[in-house]
């Protein structure tokens, strides 16, 4: 196989592969698939256009890569220097036999194998995922108020997500990470409440700025609560100590609670982009390589996988794609154009 790492035209070496295994989701989060009347009402109040719910058309299952095809891409990528793999969706646990895929990927020589989930079905699968070799798990939790949770996600699922977080800790996943997307006038009043939850439950809690990846294309910058504002409010309430950055390509700026093991992270792609150190590559469920979350172009690897192409050919093709990785996104700039696909179809 061709040697060398996956290095782009700007000198960034890619180490992190995000693999979406389905575009389907059982939530309808306002910042991704805002297909509920509650979402329409929010955007109508905010003057963001698109007052009618938009219904997403799922791709047929035949378009998805098989687990064997996913494993092959992952293996080739690992041989080219990828050291971390994260499984995403849609909601990945909607796909059958996810522990089977986890077992295949856990056998690769990687440093980290993680899963991002909304947690709604995690309790049924958590133990099997752990036994298959999953090392870490991240949950989405945008509200601790049951009604507000339903407004944000389109589903009355708060209790299930809280049970999932507890089970993950009991199963020995460490650290347990929890993510919240903060949207002004919707859940920004819960910032301190979520911070207290993180402290009490000894979690690694990530506050994420609202990004323009919703299917309704109703995002406005006024909806964004910046990481700086979130941090200011948290520091006014809690004694937070700066934590070292995990590595230059880490997305979160980290703070520790002085009285315990919990941690706060701020992910600020809108107000303080971290593109200069980005080391991530994405594989969509239908076999497209994306070099940036906000890419306007995708690269189809599926024809190579379903032909007689040798591993060396695919490796060289992948290296060529990485050379086309964008220098940065353009959120907030006049030339910014939102990708055609939502977060659910791209993979987190």
Summarised one tens digit per residue, pLDDT across range 240-253 is 999 986 666 567 89
Sketch out the chain's domains with CATH numbers. 16-346 (3.20.20.70)
pLDDT for 299 beyond 80: yes
Contact status, residue 241 vs residue 213, Cβ threshold 8 Å = no
Half-sphere exposure of 24 (CA within 13 A, CB side): 13
pLDDT for 256 beyond 90: yes
Strands 240-242 vs 252-257: parallel, antiparallel or unpaired: antiparallel
pLDDT in tens, 89-138: 999 999 999 999 999 999 999 999 999 999 999 999 999 999 999 999 99
Q: How far apart are CA 20 and CA 343, in angstroms?
A: 10
This prediction has a pTM of: 0.90
Q: Directed axis angle between helix 37-45 and helix 146-153, to 10°? A: 90
Nearest CA to 30 out of 271, 266, 211 is that of: 211
Q: How far apart are CA 102 and CA 132, in angstroms?
A: 6
Q: Which long-range contacts (CB under 8 A, 24 or more apart) does 252-259 make?
A: 252/206, 253/227, 255/231, 257/198, 257/199, 259/199
pLDDT for 161 beyond 70: yes
40: confidence class by pLDDT, cuts 50, 70, 90 = low
């Amino acid at each position: 196989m061709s040697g060398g790492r996956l290095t782009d035209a700007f000198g960034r070496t890619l180490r992190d592969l995000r693999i979406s295994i389905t575009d389907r989701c059982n939530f309808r989060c306002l910042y991704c698939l805002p297909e509920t009347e509650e979402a329409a009402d929010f955007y109508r109040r905010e003057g963001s256009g698109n007052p009618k719910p938009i219904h997403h058309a799922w791709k047929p299952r035949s378009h998805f890569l098989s687990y064997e095809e996913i494993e092959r891409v992952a293996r080739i990528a690992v041989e080219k220097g990828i050291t971390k793999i994260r499984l995403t969706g849609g909601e990945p646990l909607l796909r059958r036999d996810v522990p089977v895929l986890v077992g295949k990927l856990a056998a690769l020589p990687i440093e980290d194998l993680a899963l991002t989930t909304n947690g709604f079905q995690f309790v049924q699968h958590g133990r099997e995922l752990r036994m298959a070799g999953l090392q870490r798990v991240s949950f989405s939790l945008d509200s601790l108020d049951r009604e507000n949770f339903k407004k944000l996600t389109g589903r009355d699922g708060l209790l299930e997500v809280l049970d999932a977080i507890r089970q993950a800790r009991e199963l020995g996943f460490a650290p347990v990470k929890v993510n919240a997307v903060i949207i002004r006038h919707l859940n920004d009043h819960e910032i301190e409440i979520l911070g207290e939850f993180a402290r009490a439950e000894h979690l690694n809690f990530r506050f994420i700025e609202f990004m323009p990846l919703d299917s309704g294309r109703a995002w406005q910058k006024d909806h964004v609560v910046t990481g700086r504002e979130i941090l200011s409010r948290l520091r006014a309430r809690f004694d937070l100590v700066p934590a070292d950055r995990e590595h230059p390509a880490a997305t979160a700026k980290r703070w520790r609670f002085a009285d315990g093991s919990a941690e706060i992270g701020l992910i600020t792609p809108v107000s303080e982009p971290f593109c200069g150190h980005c080391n991530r590559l994405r594989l969509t469920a239908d076999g497209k390589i994306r070099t940036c979350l906000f890419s306007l172009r995708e690269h189809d690897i599926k024809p190579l996988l379903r032909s007689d192409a040798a591993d060396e050919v695919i490796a060289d093709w992948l290296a060529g794609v990485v050379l086309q990785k964008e220098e940065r996104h353009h959120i907030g700039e006049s030339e910014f154009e939102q990708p055609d696909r939502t977060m659910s179809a791209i993979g987190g």
